[in-house]
Chains A and B, each alone.
Chain A
């Protein structure tokens, strides 16, 4: 029951027909486009300093002004989108893949393994995310990889639990029973018959998870514990903006708005996707 190309087309059309979904598509599309072609879009080098032009307000040359080192804020916002997606995409896909595997094992495997995995999920979830992130950063030091790891580790349980519930439901469905009675191997049942039915639900979850991840990366970078300077992250922009909040408001605005926009875009897209892919999920939230 793999999603064929026409089915994918149907999903996209369904999302585009919903006004909020369309808005989400446009916002997310713009962010992804800017991130991919950042190198060609930016009017200035995002890390190039020009002390002479520092702390300027918006103008036609510098659309969002400049920071304390004379770097162009607009260019840094565009390049920051690249960093945000560089963290968010691998983290979310990694967490989804691991959560999916563990969740399916928990749902299909023996009871003791299920209990063990559930305890593992519950334990990870018992750490407040930011506190856990701070503990890890304190131990291994701040870097892009640390952020990806923390995000992945903390969101595995969400995917794992949903995958487990789905597997448990599917396990007793008629078509799986039929497969089993015909002697299909476990590999075939899990991989060919169950996986496609679980992936769709998890993909919706992933779309809704991306804003959280972007916010966490920005948050850690804002605290000076995420990506290192001079890498242009939205959080780093906010960090500079915070210390210069009385001199220029443009850094806080330039760093804050893209985060809110990205969050809005992915949330709209995720909710619309959910309604199109599986209306039943609406109740579970």
Chain B
């Protein structure tokens, strides 16, 4: 297990290093003076000179990359030229809003999806199973930002059940503001998770330890809920870990539609004001988040199911 964990995190680190290098080269590959691009229309000669020195642009490219990594390891993603504050601080200020949204979305969709999938698997080929299957496919098909817009139109503007914009104040206010965005992001996951759980449940139900449990006269509900479901939800862990990237992407749109603070809104606002250090900082941090969550999901999976350790 330790060996697997070391190797898995080694791979994650390697991927991160390559990804950061790609990002770094991408900025340099854009034609024109990088300082000019980063500063945009606000470039004054003093600022330009300062940034040139900071980024070590007068040095050879491999040295620039090393300096970039050096700063990165210390958590230094550069200075926002607009406000003079550190990019890391600005990004981490917005991150909790996005994370709260993502967790709320995945929580309700996983609970409902697992329930729906388990029920459908326990009663295969009944009417409810059919309806659940049809709903799953339809839910999977709906892109989060379209759902977000339509739910904004129906539940906030038309019915006025929920607030349309902002993040809210206090616990209940925040929760109230979280409902619609979390609904929009989670909806397609409900169907996906339900299908996944149903399929893996049906597979598990045919295995011998379930037959043994039944032979011991254990109540059917207990067999399904405890013995089968515990194994059947394993793929959900992986899918959520790998799905972190999709969730982040959906969160960007939900934040724009509902005018919520967060990473997505920060990036979009920074693009419109051509604030490149913030855009790059946010992309790097969200990429890091994604890589770590994928690795964690693999680890949890390997911990729960020893067979997965040898597969990688």
Contacts of A263 in B (CB 8 A): 141-143
Contacts of B118 in A (CB 8 A): none
Closest chain A CB from B307 CB (angstroms): 16
Contacts of A267 in B (CB 8 A): 137, 140-141
Q: Does residue A70 face the partner (Cβ distance < 8 Å to B)? A: no
Interface residues on A, range: 35 or more
Contact B15 A128 (CB under 8 A): no
Q: Does residue A126 face the partner (Cβ distance < 8 Å to B)? A: yes
Contacts of B145 in A (CB 8 A): 215, 218-219, 222, 238
Closest chain B CB from A247 CB (angstroms): 10
Residue of A nearest to B133 (CB): A20
Choice from A126, A137, A211 contacting B287 with Cβ under 8 Å: A126
Contact A238 B287 (CB under 8 A): no
Contact B245 A259 (CB under 8 A): no
Contacts of B14 in A (CB 8 A): 119
Cα A211 to Cα B274 in complex, Å, equals 30
Contacts of B26 in A (CB 8 A): 135-136, 139
Choice from B153, B280, B282 contacting A245 with Cβ under 8 Å: B153
List A124-182 residues whose CB lies under 8 Å from chain B. Answer: 125-132, 134-140
Contacts of B152 in A (CB 8 A): 245
List B139-155 residues whose CB lies under 8 Å from chain A. Answer: 140-143, 145-146, 149-150, 152-153
Contacts of B153 in A (CB 8 A): 245, 249, 252-253
Among the stretches B16-24, B69-77, B82-90, the one at the interface with A is B16-24
Closest chain B CB from A216 CB (angstroms): 9
Q: Does residue A43 face the partner (Cβ distance < 8 Å to B)? A: no
Contacts of A119 in B (CB 8 A): 14-15, 18
Given known contacts A123-B18, A131-B282, is B30 in contact with A139 (CB within 8 Å)? Answer: yes
Cα A119 to Cα B22 in complex, Å, equals 12
Contact A131 B286 (CB under 8 A): yes
Annotate A216-232 by CB proximity to B: 1 below 8 A, 0 otherwise: 00110011010000000
Q: Does residue B157 face the partner (Cβ distance < 8 Å to A)? A: yes
Residue of A nearest to B279 (CB): A138
Choice from B22, B141, B150, B252 contacting A131 with Cβ under 8 Å: B252
Q: Would you give 26 A-B contacts (Cβ < 8 Å), ordered by A?
A: A120-B18, A123-B15, A123-B18, A123-B22, A125-B245, A129-B246, A130-B248, A134-B283, A135-B279, A135-B280, A135-B283, A137-B271, A138-B270, A140-B30, A215-B146, A218-B143, A219-B143, A222-B253, A242-B149, A245-B152, A249-B157, A249-B158, A252-B149, A256-B150, A259-B146, A271-B137
